[in-house]
Structure 1
Amino acid sequence: MLFWILTAALVAMIALLFGLALLRRHPEEETSTASYDVQVYRDQLSDLEKDRTRGVISPEEAERTKIEISRRMLEADRQERAGKDLGRRAGEAPRGATVAAFGVVVVLLGAAFAGYAVLGARGYGDMPIRQRFAEADTSYASRPSQDEAEKQAAASRGPAPAVDPKFAELMEKLRQAVAERPGDLEGLTLLARNEMAMGNFRAGYEAQKRLIAAKGDGATGEDYAQLGEDMVVAAGGLVTREAEAAFATALDKEPKNGLALYYIGLMMGQNGRPDRAFLLWDGLLRNTPADAPWNAPIRANIEELAWLAGEQNYTPPGTRGPSAADMANAAQMTPEERMQMIRGMVEQLNDRLASEGGPVEDWAKLVSSLRMLGDTGRADAIATEARSKFVSDKEALAKIDAATQAPVGAAMGPMGGGAPMAAPGAGAMPGPSAEDVQNAAEMSPEERQQMIRGMVDGLAERLTTEGGSAQEWARAVRSLAMLGDSGRAKEIYGKAQTALAGDAAALAMVQQAAEAAKVAP
């Protein structure tokens, strides 16, 4: 209440001063420049008379000078009188203008009160930059430990979803195999990923720690970044001190590791330093592939983060690939127009890789896309070029080899007389019959979606119970993700890793599909 009393008193005082300024008359006693000149001329006449008396100046010269001074004095006196008359006329503002000005003042003061009532925070102290930084440091230092954060996350997360009994049995066998062979790097990798996929987060990052210990000095920055991410997931999204230490080690080994930079930026944002978070995230958008897994969450938050960081006119760097409008237009195209658009996108990818280069995922995508378009000659040539660029990276070579197994002409659809359009990496499996296609054409969008969902569920069920090829696992992962069922897609991805354990090329193909669908851990 005291705040409003003081504020009202200040407003009343300001309004009073405005009113007095509008209503007061200009004082007539103010000495003008003309009156000062008159006084000067009078003094000159007095001095002139003294000089003539003393004989300093002749009577003729004194008379001429007196006439000139008198003329100037009369002119100054005329200007003085004219100024006083004008001052009397302008001394008081017109009544209408005074009332209007007073009304404007009242409206402005009232708007200030109303604006503060809506936007202000009475009793909230100032927040200078030093205080904000001090509070950010306090928040950073007082973060909960990994154990505390996991307990809080578990309480809010609720019970874990039920696990398929067969998958649980396979996981138990994997745990026993890793226990018998603690130095088995591939087994530890599979164990860490699948424990995370099952929701056993602590067991997942503990397995990742064992993997890093088994690798020793050979552990990469990516290994430590994965450990940090697993710990963040276990902590419900909070970057704890322990997770930060893992990311710091990752950056010591690989200063440009995108995953570690993303989570360090997230940590900055969580602890009141949006300025630092913005610099890290904006750098990732500009310097990493557009389909990098961290770019989607960055783009969803970067504009708000930029505003908090003081970047008022920030525009995120452009994305590569089709926009939402492009996809909407593609849905209305004829098959010929759609195929032309696809070829244009493939050529753009080819030109970018030729001029700028890119990650192995982009090279694999280009190879598989060219094969699906039926251009096997170019696909083989580009695969050879890609192998020369990643000759020392076995995992990258496996991804390129997997891309060379993409079905030829799968994207041609009815135009080429081949199979209906399929996702990259899809394998040969019985497709819909001509009768199925005819029935689908007569369905409503809801019925057609239900039919597609049934086909995908059937494929996933068959793979879970009977197993299948890498192409089929990849198709199931990608299809579930496209239907919006990311949770089931992650589950199928985890089962595929277990089912295809030991086959590097097959695992690479499934991993490529999971990364493209944004469901890879």
Structure 2
Amino acid sequence: MSETNCMTTGKASRLSATNRAILIAAFVLLVAAIGYAIWRDSAPAADQASEGGAAPGDQLAALEARVQREPESADAWTALGGARFDLGDFAGAAAAYEKAVALSPESAGLWSALGEARVMASERDPMPAAASKAFDKAIALDAKDPRARYFLAVRKDIGGDHRGAIEDWFALLADTPQGAPWEADLRRTIEQVGAIHKIDVAARLAATQARPLTADEMPVAARAIPGPSRAEMEAASRLPKGQQDAMIQGMVDGLEAKLKANPADVDRWIMLMRSRMTLGETAKAAQALKDGIAANPAAAGRLKAQAQLLGVPGA
């Protein structure tokens, strides 16, 4: 989203030095926590290597090719929609999500993603009728869908019910788990709309806290696991960029290899999603969520909760 677009999935971007160091340190943390060796020297399969190092345009081409091969796969169309959205092709994203919802019409997350893409693709109308309809469909399927709730409040604001919109945003904030990707933007939206329409929200915002995380939502790295040390962070940041990138790629490849050997390790699936999101590889993060749930259907709730906190598309 823009200033009022707080549910937008994470845009793919160049990995900053800080994020690179954090990602490396996160792997160090995971090694210490669950005691497995990182496969730095393991060679990835040829297709994984080429895909991992592909430019955004090449990754998009691969996803375009995938939907040609799998035209009846909602997951393939969802991944393509997320990739197009990340690249700013909102009309293209909407077209892909339309294919996805046609194949998977009971997914609230897909309907709200479609609605958001339609909003972003509209040059004049801030809430096109087709987008509004998609959000209504999402909320009918899942009354708690945060993106649909946000945009339906936007619809109220556009329609002149500014106080009603603010009330709905406060209700969403009350249901927002601590640390959710949209929490800060949601607070900023409430503050900005209140200022524009002379509605005092400062005291209420100050008194409103995001709800505590449930056990399933608690980040894996926060479960009685010490954080990465300053020395680990500094050691990661001192490596030349090329070595950092090679290390990260080797870590992610090793993590995926471990998951192929033991797909029942739910914590590693969450770590893979987090790694992909940190790298800006949102489509791959969404695929990791799908694969993790397929391998661990009993842990679907936990995996989805973690994915929502990470901002994984379709979660």
Cα drift, residue 369 of structure 1: 3.2
| 1:77-133 per-position Cα deviation (integer Å, ceiling 9, x unaligned) | xxxxxxxxxxxxxxxxxxxxxxxxxxxxxxxxxxxxxxxxxxxxxxxxxxxxxxxxx
Cα drift, residue 168 of structure 1: 4.0
**Residue aligning to 1:266:** 154
Instruction: Map 1:182-331 to 2 at 5 A.
Output: 182-216=71-105, 219-235=106-122, 238-270=126-158, 272-307=160-195, 308=197, 310-311=199-200, 314-316=203-205, 317-320=207-210
2: distance between equivalents of 1:265 and 1:314? 21
Cα drift, residue 279 of structure 1: 1.8
| 1:165-193 per-position Cα deviation (integer Å, ceiling 9, x unaligned) | 46544543433332343222222222222
1: distance between equivalents of 2:307 and 2:229? 19
Aligned residue for 2:204, secondary structure, equals coil
**Residue aligning to 1:11:** none
Aligned residue for 1:208, secondary structure, equals helix
Matched-pair contact (CA < 8 Å) for 1:192–1:203: yes
Aligned residue for 1:269, secondary structure, equals helix
User: Does 1:493 pair with 2:282?
Assistant: yes
**Residue aligning to 1:177:** 66
Q: Over the residues paired in the alignment, what is the CA RMSD in angstroms? A: 4.4
2: distance between equivalents of 1:301 and 1:473? 31
TM-score by length of 1: 0.38
**Residue aligning to 1:504:** 292
**Residue aligning to 2:238:** 451
Aligned residue for 1:266, secondary structure, equals helix
Distance 1:515 1:208, change over 3 A: same
Cα drift, residue 227 of structure 1: 0.9
Aligned residue for 1:365, secondary structure, equals coil
TM-score by length of 2: 0.59
1: distance between equivalents of 2:177 and 2:229? 26
**Residue aligning to 1:483:** none
Give, as a single letter, the amino acid of the residue that structure 2 aligns with 1:199: G
Which runs of no fewer than 5 residues in structure 2 stay unpaired?
A: 1-11, 15-50, 257-267
Cα drift, residue 282 of structure 1: 1.5
2: distance between equivalents of 1:302 and 1:176? 42
Which runs of no fewer than 5 residues in structure 1 stay unpaired?
A: 1-159, 322-348, 374-409, 414-419, 423-436, 441-447, 481-488
Give, as a single letter, the amino acid of the residue that structure 1 aligns with 2:238: M
| 1:376-400 per-position Cα deviation (integer Å, ceiling 9, x unaligned) | xxxxxxxxxxxxxxxxxxxxxxxxx
More helix by share: 1
Distance 1:207 1:450, change over 3 A: same
Matched-pair contact (CA < 8 Å) for 2:91–2:118: yes
Give, as a single letter, the amino acid of the residue that structure 2 aligns with 1:302: I
Give, as a single letter, the amino acid of the residue that structure 1 aligns with 2:188: A
Distance 1:520 1:468, change over 3 A: farther
1: distance between equivalents of 2:13 and 2:216? 37
Distance 1:513 1:197, change over 3 A: farther
Cα drift, residue 211 of structure 1: 1.4
Matched-pair contact (CA < 8 Å) for 1:274–1:309: no
2: distance between equivalents of 1:221 and 1:516? 17
1: distance between equivalents of 2:93 and 2:232? 47
Give, as a single letter, the amino acid of the residue that structure 2 aligns with 1:305: V
Distance 1:284 1:368, change over 3 A: same
% identity of equivalent residues = 20
Distance 1:224 1:309, change over 3 A: farther
Instruction: Map 1:65-464 to 2 at 5 A.
Output: 165=54, 168-216=57-105, 219-235=106-122, 238-270=126-158, 272-307=160-195, 308=197, 310-311=199-200, 314-316=203-205, 317-320=207-210, 358=214, 362-365=215-218, 369-370=222-223, 373=224, 410-411=225-226, 420=228, 437=231, 440=234, 450-451=237-238, 454=241, 457-460=245-248
| 1:140-166 per-position Cα deviation (integer Å, ceiling 9, x unaligned) | xxxxxxxxxxxxxxxxxxxx9999746
Cα drift, residue 261 of structure 1: 1.6
Cα drift, residue 259 of structure 1: 1.5
Distance 1:244 1:176, change over 3 A: same
Cα drift, residue 244 of structure 1: 1.3
Distance 1:280 1:496, change over 3 A: closer
Aligned residue for 1:238, secondary structure, equals coil
Structure scoring higher RCO (CA < 8 A, sep ≥ 6) equals 2
Matched-pair contact (CA < 8 Å) for 1:193–1:204: yes
